Structure 1
Amino acid sequence: MRANSFLFVLRMGIGMAYLLLYIDTMVLTASSTELLHHIIAKLKSAFTMEDMGEQHGHANYVDDLLKRVGMSNCKWVATLANTKPKPSASDRKPIPDASFYRSMTGAFQYLTVMRPGIAYTVKQLCLRMHSPTDVHAAMLK
């Protein structure tokens, strides 16, 4: 088994399995149902764990995040990154509550475990955590 700090890959013959860990959450997928059940049985024999069943995303977590940023009724878009031109640095204004920006960015960082498609956008948010501006707050939304 090869390991990254959070991703484990298992090759068994022609089968493959991926185990993704983040704090106390584990996501496991495999190329066959048999391999998946085999790995789950092995894990349960070694660790106390609860199988939450198939992964359907973190719908409640996402809903909570949207409420926290005041976007419960937002419309989904095809791209998660803002492709519009950004105002110049002189046009940007510091936001009054940088701690809220940092908290929300951290919450989105956690979400990248289940939704890796947002990783690039979240990385861009993280790069601005030291001094976020109104442009960055809009990017967060």
Structure 2
Amino acid sequence: MDVKNAFLNGDLTEKVSMQPLPGSLFHSSNAYDSALFIHQTERGIILLLIYVDDTIITGDDITGISSLKKFLSHQFEMKDLGLLSYFLSLEISHDLSSYFLTQAKYISDLLTRAGLTDCKTSTTYVDPKTRLIPLDGHLLYDPTLYRQLDGSLVYLTITCPNISYVVHIVSQFMAAPRTLYYNALVHILRYLKGTMFHGLHYLVHSSLQLLAFCDADWAGDPTDRHSTTGFCFFLGDSLIAWCSKK
């Protein structure tokens, strides 16, 4: 649902409720995601995800969702955009059995910004022989592009968990990036060009068994001898959480 003119309002003079009013049908999910509200009905669950100018409504109570859309449209000027297909650079395709999340357009725009549209692809996201040390290489004259690309890669790990480790490595040199680190960053982009349409696949009818995997090296950082750990969580066959951290 697109909320029209969300950015055109002036200063507010009335009170704004930042929490659900007493007796509200919806309740906030938890303290860590204040934009997500949940309503349990006799037919199922309705999830309401609220942003500044967009609202996502989903769940398994189709009748309740339809009623909620009508109610919101009477309260605010809103437009129903239909089934979710693109949101915050996430591309969502779906059929009756699964959902598939990618960021192909985001990667394409990233390659254009880096001037790598016509570059060769790489089969790996990091050169196994590369060891990044803080004082190797020359300081970049202007680190702006490096920082922009690195920040974009961090956001890209939303659908590309396989690059989490190497992005975590190059992000450690944001303060004073050097040529060697930029080469490593370009290597990641070349890999992404060849895997642009890879993403996350979620089956509708998946097991609810929670599986967790973790690993760590031992004093793997050549500078401070700190270790790096990583984990991933699966709900059935669906990857739902992951991390790489020194």
Normalising by structure 2, what TM-score?
0.39
The structure carrying a bigger helix percent of its residues is: 1
| 1:82-127 deviation digits (Å, cap 9, x = unpaired) | 3735324143433332111122334445x55xx7234736962544
Structure 1 or 2, whichever has the larger Rg, is: 2
Gaps in structure 1 of 5+ consecutive residues = none
Residue 132 (str. 1) matches residue 177 (str. 2): yes
**Structure with more of its chain in strand, by fraction:** 2
Task: For 2:145, give the aligned amino acid.
Answer: F
Instruction: Report the CA distance shift for 1:2/1:70 in structure 2 as closer, same or farther (over 3 A).
Output: same
| Aligned residue-pair number | 134
- Residue 28 to residue 87, structure 1, CA distance change in 2 (3 Å): same
Partner of 1:70: 115
Taking structure 1 as reference, are residues 107 and 87 closer, same or farther at Cα in structure 2, changes over 3 Å only?
closer
Q: Secondary structure at the match of 1:103?
A: helix
How far does the alpha carbon of each residue in 1:27-72 deviate from its partner, in whole angstroms, 9 at most, with x for none?
7362337155455445444444444442242654432222111232
* Distance of 1:121 and 1:32 partners within structure 2: 36
CA distance in 1, matches of 2:50, 2:158: 11
Pairwise CA RMSD: 4.0
Question: Aligned pair in 2 of structure 1 residues 108, 42: CA closer, same or farther (>3 Å)?
Answer: farther
Q: Is the 8 A contact 1:108 1:122 kept in 2?
A: no
1:116 corresponds, among 155, 158, 176, to: 158
Q: Is the 8 A contact 1:92 1:133 kept in 2?
A: yes
Post-superposition, which runs of at least 4 consecutive aligned residues in structure 1 deviate over 6 A? none
Match for residue 145 of structure 2 among 94, 100, 104? 100
Q: Given that residues 105 and 122 in structure 1 are in contact (C-alpha distance below 8 angstroms), is that contact kept between their aligned partners in structure 2?
A: no
In the alignment, the residues of structure 2 paired with residue 16 and residue 65 of structure 1 have an alpha-carbon distance, to the nearest angstrom, of 35
Of the two structures, which has the highest relative contact order with CA contacts closer than 8 Å and spacing of 6 or more? 1
Percent identity, aligned pairs only, is: 18
Tell me the SS of whatever aligns to 2:173. coil
Please give the alpha-carbon distance, in whole angstroms, between the structure 1 residues aligned to 2:58 and 2:121.
33
Q: Gaps spanning 5+ residues in structure 2: where?
A: 1-27, 92-102, 190-246
